[in-house]
Amino acid sequence: MNNVTDKLLGISTDPLLSFKQKAHYLATEADASLPYFPLSEGLKLAMEQGTVCDLHEGHAPYKPRYVLPDYGKFLKQGSAYLELEAPEDFDEALNCLSILYHHVPSVTGMPVFLGHLDQILLPFAKGLSEELIYKKLRLFWIMLDRTLPDAFVHVNIGPDDNVICRAILRIDAELKQIVPNLTFMYDPAVTSDELLRLVTANICKCSKPHVANYPMHRDTFDEQGFGIVSCYNSLPLAGGSNTLVRLNLKNVAEQSASADEFFENTLPRFADLVFELIEFRTAFLHEQSGFFDSFLVREGLISEKRFAPMYGIFGMAEAVNILAAKEGRTDRYGHQAWANDLGCKISSELEKIVAAKKLQYAWRNMALLHSQAGLSSDKGVTPGVRIPYGDEPDPVEHIKALARHHQYYPAGVSEILTIDETVKSNTEAMFQLCKGALALGLREFTANVSSNDLVRVTGFMIKLSDIKKFKEEGSRKNTTCLGAEAAETVGILKRAPRVISYELASGER
C-alpha cells in the first residue's frame, strides 16, 4: 500500500503536471492499484512478458475505451438529462455539441469522437453565408483545442462536398492545431478530384487530414454507420469499443522455433490469452460498472449491443524479421516479397482466429482486429503492421508493401508515410499518391510532411552510402524528435506540454 501512496503523492506534487493532468493520473493510478481479475497462470505470465497487454486501461473498467454517440440524433432531439432543447440554429447546435462533448467518456477522459461534423451541422447552416460559417466554426475549432487538449479527439468529414466540409478544411490548414484530429472520408463515386486535391493540399500544409477509404469502411459496418476515432480506430456509430487488448507479435515469434511452430502452436496459444482478458474486462464493464445505465444509453445515443472489443496487434515487422532469421533467410519486412508474404499470412491467420471466437459482450459477438499504434513506452517494437522507422522504402513501395494487410483490420490500420517538404511546391504528387494508395486497398492514407536532412532535389539522386554516412554523423548530433522536443519543453517551461496524448503516454507512469 505504501507503494501506491507514494505514487499518488508523487502525482499530486508533480511540478510538471497541470491540475487536470494530475486528476487524470490520480484516477488512473487508483484504478490500477485495485486487485486484478483472477487471471490464468498463462495469461499472468504473458502479461508480465509484455506479450499480452491491456494498455493500462485499469483494473476495474468503469467506462468503455471509446464511445461514439450518435450526435446527429442528439441534435434532432436535444437531451432530457442535460436539460437541452433540440437546437434550432447553428449557434444552438454548436453550443449543444460543446456541452455534450464533456459528458462523453473514453480511456483518456476526453471524447475520442466529435461526430461527422459536416453531415450533422449542414441542416443548421441554411441561410448562413460562407464567411459567417467560417467565423463560427473557427471559434469552435479553437475552443476544441483549448478545452479538450488531447491529440486523439477526432472529427470526421466527407465524402460529400459542402460548405461545412470546406470551411473545416480551410480552418484546419489555417490554425494548424494538433486538436482536433481530422479524417476526410473519400469515396471515388462521390468525392470530386477537385475536393480531394484540396484535402491533399491540406496534408502538405499541416499533415492533416487522414484520408479514409470510405467504401471499405462502409462495407465493414452496418447501415447505422461508423466513425473514425482516436488515432484511426473505426467503430460502430452509436456504440464504440468496450476494451482494447493487444498482442505483441514480436514476442510470439521469439518464442517460436520456426514459422510452422508459430502458426501451429505459439500464435493460437497466445491468441487465446487475449480472448481471456477481453472476456474478463468486458464482463466487468457490462455487468458490474453500471456504465450502461448512463443517460447516453437511456436517450438512445449509444446502445450497449454496439460495443466491440478490439483485438490489437503490434510488432508485425519484428515478428516477420525474427521468423525469417529462424528460417535462415535475410529477407526484410517491407523490402522483400517473401517477408511481405509472410506478414500477410500472419494477418490472414489472425483474421481467422478472431472470426472463430464467439464473445458475449461484443457487437456481432465478435472482436474486431486492429493494428495498434503503439505506446510511447514501447521499445524495440514497431506499431501495428508498420515498417520500422528509418527502414522505410520510398512512399510508393511502402504503400504497395502494406496495402495487402489492410483488408484484415476492420477496426483500423494506418501507416504513416513520411514525405519530404519538397512536396509542398508540388501538391499534385500528394494527390496522386493518395489516390493510388486508396485504389490499391489502403484502408486509410496518412502522410507526415517533414524533411529528412538529405532531401532529393530536382534532377538528381542521393546515394545510399551518403544516407548511411549522414545517419552515422547525425546520431552524434542532437536530433529533433517528439521525445527530445518534449523533453526540452519540459525543461525550459517547467511543465508538460499543453496538448499531449494520454493514450500514447499511458505506459509511462
Of 376 and 422, the one with the shorter C-beta distance to another protein is 422
Of 189 and 464, the one with the shorter C-beta distance to another protein is 464
CA atoms within 13 A on the CB side of 196: 25
Q: In this chain, which of 457, 472, 478, 491 binds another protein, going by CB under 8 A? A: 457
- 163 binds another protein, rule: CB under 8 A: no
Q: In this chain, which of 459, 472, 475, 491 binds another protein, going by CB under 8 A? A: 459
Of 174 and 428, the one with the shorter C-beta distance to another protein is 428
Rounded Cα distance between 193 and 347, Å, is: 32
**Beta strand extents in 319-387 (DSSP E only):** 368-371
Report in angstroms how near the CB of residue 434 gets to another protein at its nearest: 9
| DSSP structure string for 181-241 | EEEEEE-TTTS-HHHHHHHHHHHHHHS--EEEEHHHHHHHS-TT-EEEETTTEEEETTEEE
Site string for another protein, 393-432 (x = CB under 8 A): -xxxx-xx------------------xxxxxxxx-xxxxx
Geometric angle at alpha carbon 74, from 288 and 153, rounded to 5°:
70
Q: Is 364 left (phi over 0), alpha (psi -120 to 50) or beta?
A: left
Q: Which range, of 23-31, 90-98, 173-181, 456-464, touches another protein by CB under 8 A?
A: 456-464
Report the SS3 class of residue 364.
Answer: helix
Of 200 and 372, the one with the shorter C-beta distance to another protein is 200
Strands of the 210-213 sheet, one edge to the other: 113-116, 154-157, 181-186, 210-213, 444-449, 415-419
Of 222 and 397, the one with the shorter C-beta distance to another protein is 397
For residues 339 and 385, is the Cβ–Cβ distance under 8 A? no
- 456 binds another protein, rule: CB under 8 A: yes
Report in angstroms how near the CB of residue 191 gets to another protein at its nearest: 16
Rounded Cα distance between 78 and 72, Å, is: 10
Q: Which range, of 167-175, 264-272, 312-320, 454-462, touches another protein by CB under 8 A?
A: 454-462
Of 274 and 399, the one with the shorter C-beta distance to another protein is 399
Pairing between strand 239-241 and 210-213?
Answer: unpaired
CA neighbor of 133 nearest in space, from 111, 165, 173: 165
Q: Which residues contact 71 (CB under 8 A, 6 or more apart)?
A: 97, 100, 114, 115, 116, 120, 301
Of 267 and 438, the one with the shorter C-beta distance to another protein is 438
Of 3 and 458, the one with the shorter C-beta distance to another protein is 458
Report in angstroms how near the CB of residue 421 gets to another protein at its nearest: 6
- 436 binds another protein, rule: CB under 8 A: yes
Q: Is the dihedral of CA 120, 301, 229, 27 positive or negative?
A: positive
Q: Which range, of 15-23, 270-278, 299-307, 464-472, touches another protein by CB under 8 A?
A: 464-472
Q: Which range, of 179-187, 292-300, 433-441, 475-483, touches another protein by CB under 8 A?
A: 433-441
Q: Give the count of residues interacting with another protein (CB under 8 A).
A: 40
Of 29 and 391, the one with the shorter C-beta distance to another protein is 391
- 440 binds another protein, rule: CB under 8 A: yes
CA atoms within 13 A on the CB side of 37: 21
CA neighbor of 413 nearest in space, from 393, 438, 380, 384: 384
Binding site for another protein (CB under 8 A): 394-397, 399-400, 419-426, 428-433, 435-437, 439-440, 451, 454-466, 468
